Amino acid sequence: MQTALLQYPFDSSIKLLKSLLVRRGYAVVSSDAEQGMIRANIPGGFLKKPQALELRVHKIDRHSTKVEIMVNENKNTYEKPRSLEDKLEERFVSSIYHYF
Q: What is the pLDDT of residue 77?
A: 45
Phi, psi angle pair for 85, to nearest 5°: -65, -40
Q: Which residues contact 46 (CB under 8 A, 6 or more apart)?
A: none
* Average pLDDT value for the chain: 86
> Which domains can be identified in the chain, with CATH numbers?
2-99 (3.30.310.220)
**pTM exceeds cut of 0.95:** no
Contact between residue 29 and residue 53 where contact means Cβ atoms under 8 Å apart: no
pLDDT tens per residue, range 38-83: 999 988 777 777 789 999 999 999 999 999 999 886 555 455 556 7
